[in-house]
Amino acid sequence: METSTTQHETVEQPQSAEQQLARCWEAAAMEPKYPVTTRDVVKLLRSGGGYDCSADLLDSWGRSRTVTPEVSSNGFLWSAEDILVAAALLNSSRRWLLNSQHVGKMTGVELAELQARQIGQTVFEELDAVDFRTLLGTIASERLDSETRLILCRALQSKLEIAGLI
């Protein structure tokens, strides 16, 4: 962060969106340029930010106006601010790549799930045998400890992904 000093105090100036993304561009080995196409935002966020995202996901956020990139005849054009909003959404929904700077934030079940997925397997082998209602009812149970609840939430997310609902 930049600082400016007055006679009485030092005030930190907030970084611009472009400055906040500078390390991402560098890590992705890409040249910063704005506005950015969805395809390049995916490369930037995956390679430079360590986020698990796709063009389909980002485009769906653009269409629903969850994020508000500029609409062009060839899709969406993303400003630095739009990219930061997308990164925040990815972070809050825990969409991280396994070998990224986010590994320290992952729970044991998230790590196991990502490792299994990399070799085409799943940690939730019997998932087809459990229906959504049962899974939701179990998650809502007051008797569950937080780790078990988290595992069941990940199982539900996996089941929803397989069904194409998220």
Range 82-94 average pLDDT: 94
Instruction: Out of 66, 88, 103, pick the residue that ends a domain.
Output: 103
Instruction: Out of 103, 121, 149, pick the residue that ends a domain.
Output: 103
Bridge partners of 72, per DSSP, are 75
The residue range of the domain holding 118 is 107-166
| Residue 3 predicted with pLDDT over 60 | no
Q: How many residues does this entry show for the chain?
A: 166
Tell me the per-residue pLDDT of 8-66, one tens digit each, with 9 for 90 and over.
566 666 789 999 999 999 999 999 999 999 999 999 999 999 999 999 999 999 999 99
**33 and 65 both lie in a single domain:** yes
CB atoms within 10 A of CB 26: 12
Query: Structural domain tally of the chain?
Result: 2
Tell me the per-residue pLDDT of 109-151, one tens digit each, with 9 for 90 and over.
777 777 777 778 777 777 777 788 888 888 887 788 888 888 8
Give the separation between CA 166 and CA 162, rounded to whole angstroms.
8
pTM of model > 0.75? no
**53 and 69 both lie in a single domain:** yes
